[in-house]
């Protein structure tokens, strides 16, 4: 029994040896096995969709939201206190620069002006009398000096007249100062009377009205708000990591809910030189023209700022990228019997479904866009046309 077992083991060992060498009746089975193994190791053909590498432009945009503001907005208040006699404008009215907006009661102001004019005339007349008196005393002093030199009068008489002349000269100077003071008072009265009329500081629309006719106001009471809508602006907060990308003059696109199908073009006008330490954001101001004043302050705005634009770069569809152990790559179609060649790439900006790449590629190269997750480097592929039919030829696929 033991000899039989040993004999069987020997025969099995010898048969396995002949099979591995393909000798005798095992030759055909070995060939079939190798053929099946070859198909399993890499002969399988994968159907994929491809696209061509192209040269184009890529744009980087940053998106923000904010509220529209008027280019200029000012609350107009009178410079003096008084009662509103007339209010000449209302909300929505267009006003020009320098146009009269309101008028305060000016009876008291007119009386102050008349009183100042009268006081000035009084002091001017007084000045003329003082100057005449001084002139008379000067002539008298000259005569007295002549008489004193001829010993007709005493020295005391000359001194008395000289003292009188000096006093008269001082009175003239005092009266001149009083005249100047009255002139200033008169100018002030004229200015106050002029301030009874409130005018617009610039052209624009009346945005708000705060008082009615007959209201008693002081120098800080707002009457109306004037807004300049020839241009509008939007201030957006930009986070610290993106702040370095913003610069004055960059183009921006603004949309509002009131006009969903319109895009308004603007530019970065101002960039704050500091960040808010609490939010780590800085304010960026975008200005845009507003023909027809269709954009209104307070509208919710969506803003896109173009921070970078590159032309003449290689572009591939975003779906063509594959993650590798060393970074990113994509499968490039090679050969008449097409195979997928894995090439390493460096990616850049993305825009509208395309991504900027750097690598061993040129315009027109075909790359796999769908099915790359099933591929290995060097694997055979079948190119699928847009209509869903497949082709094995490189020139027939896209």
125-170 confidence digits (pLDDT tens): 998 998 999 899 889 888 888 888 888 888 888 888 889 889 989 9
d(C-alpha 92, C-alpha 206), whole Å? 5
Q: Is the dihedral of CA 198, 200, 205, 210 positive or negative?
A: negative
Mean pLDDT of the chain: 84
Residue 235 pLDDT: 94
pLDDT score of 242 more than 80: yes
How confident is the model at residue 13, as a pLDDT?
Answer: 54
Q: What pLDDT is attached to residue 67?
A: 94
Q: State the average pLDDT over residues 19-35.
A: 44
The pLDDT value recorded for residue 268 is 95
Q: Residue 4: pLDDT above 90?
A: no
User: Taking the chain, what is the end-to-end CA distance rounded to the nearest angstrom?
Assistant: 71
Higher pLDDT, 38 or 196: 196
Cβ density class 121-130: b for 16+ within 10 Å, e for less: eebeebbeeb
How many angstroms separate the Cα of 299 from the Cα of each of 146, 159, 232, 270?
92, 86, 11, 20
Whether the pLDDT of residue 215 is over 90: the answer is yes
Q: Is the pLDDT of residue 26 over 50?
A: no
Sheet holding 82-87, edge to edge: 197-199, 100-104, 82-87, 216-217
pLDDT for res 395: 41
Is the Cα dihedral 99, 103, 106, 112 positive or negative? Answer: negative
pLDDT, residue 66, reads 93
Indicate if the pLDDT at residue 251 is higher than 50.
Answer: yes
Q: Which of 197, 240, 169 is nearest to 100 (CA)?
A: 197
- Give residue 3's pLDDT: 54
The better pLDDT of the pair 288, 353 is held by: 288
pLDDT for res 39 = 43
- The pLDDT > 70 percentage for the chain reads 86
Lowest-confidence segment of 199-203, 207-211, 383-387 by average pLDDT = 383-387
pLDDT > 90 in the chain, percent: 48
This prediction has a pTM of 0.62
Range with the poorest average pLDDT among 157-166, 210-219, 293-302: 157-166
The pLDDT assigned to 35 comes to 44
Of 204 and 8, more confident:
204
pLDDT digits (tens, 9 = 90+) for 253-290: 999 999 999 999 999 999 999 999 999 999 999 999 99
pLDDT of residue 110 exceeding 60: yes
What local confidence, expressed as pLDDT, does residue 30 receive? 40
Q: 339 or 22, which is more confident?
A: 339
Mean pLDDT calculated for residue range 201-227: 93
Convert the pLDDT of each residue in 63-105 to its tens digit: 999 999 998 999 999 999 999 999 999 999 999 999 999 999 9
Q: Look at residue 388 in the predicted model and tell me its pLDDT.
A: 47
Determine the pLDDT at residue 148. Answer: 81
**pLDDT tens string 44-63:** 888 888 888 888 888 888 99
| Mean pLDDT of the 195-199 span | 93
- Cβ neighbours, 10 Å, residue 194: 13
User: For residue 21, what pLDDT is reported?
Assistant: 42
């Amino acid at each position: 029994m033991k000899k039989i077992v040993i004999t069987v083991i020997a025969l099995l060992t010898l048969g396995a040896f002949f099979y591995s060498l393909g000798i005798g009746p095992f030759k055909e089975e070995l060939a079939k096995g190798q053929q099946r193994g070859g198909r399993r190791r890499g002969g399988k053909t994968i159907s994929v969709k491809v696209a061509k590498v192209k040269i184009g432009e890529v744009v980087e945009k940053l998106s923000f939201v904010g509220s529209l503001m008027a280019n200029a907005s000012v609350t107009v208040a009178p410079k003096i206190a008084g009662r509103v006699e007339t209010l000449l404008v209302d909300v929505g009215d267009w006003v020009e620069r320098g146009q009269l907006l309101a008028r305060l009661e000016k009876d008291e102001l007119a009386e102050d002006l008349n009183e100042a004019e009268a006081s000035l005339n009084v002091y001017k007349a007084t000045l003329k009398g003082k100057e005449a008196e001084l002139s008379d005393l000067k002539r008298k002093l000259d005569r007295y000096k002549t008489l004193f030199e001829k010993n007709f009068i005493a020295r005391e008489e000359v001194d008395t007249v000289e003292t009188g002349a000096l006093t008269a000269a001082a009175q003239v100077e005092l009266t001149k100062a009083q005249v100047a003071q009255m002139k200033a008072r008169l100018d002030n009265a004229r200015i106050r009377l002029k301030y009874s009329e409130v005018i617009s500081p610039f052209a624009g629309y009346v945005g708000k009205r705060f008082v009615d006719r007959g209201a008693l106001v002081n120098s800080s009471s707002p009457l109306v708000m004037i807004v300049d809508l020839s241009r509008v602006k939007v201030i957006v907060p930009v986070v610290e990591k993106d702040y370095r990308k913003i610069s004055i003059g960059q183009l921006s696109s603004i949309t509002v809910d009131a006009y969903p199908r319109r895009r308004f073009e603007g530019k970065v006008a101002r960039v704050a030189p500091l960040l808010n330490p609490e939010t780590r954001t800085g304010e960026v101001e975008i200005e845009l023209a507003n023909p027809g004043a269709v954009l209104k302050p307070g509208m919710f705005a969506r803003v896109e700022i173009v921070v970078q634009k590159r032309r003449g770069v290689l572009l591939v569809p975003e779906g063509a990228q594959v993650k590798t152990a060393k970074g990113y790559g994509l499968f490039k179609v090679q050969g008449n019997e097409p195979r997928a060649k894995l090439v390493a790439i460096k990616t850049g900006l993305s825009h509208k479904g395309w991504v900027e790449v750097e690598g061993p590629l040129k315009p027109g190269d075909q790359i796999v866009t769908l099915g790359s997750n099933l591929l290995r480097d060097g694997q055979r592929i079948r190119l699928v046309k847009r209509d869903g039919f497949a082709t094995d030829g490189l020139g027939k696929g896209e």
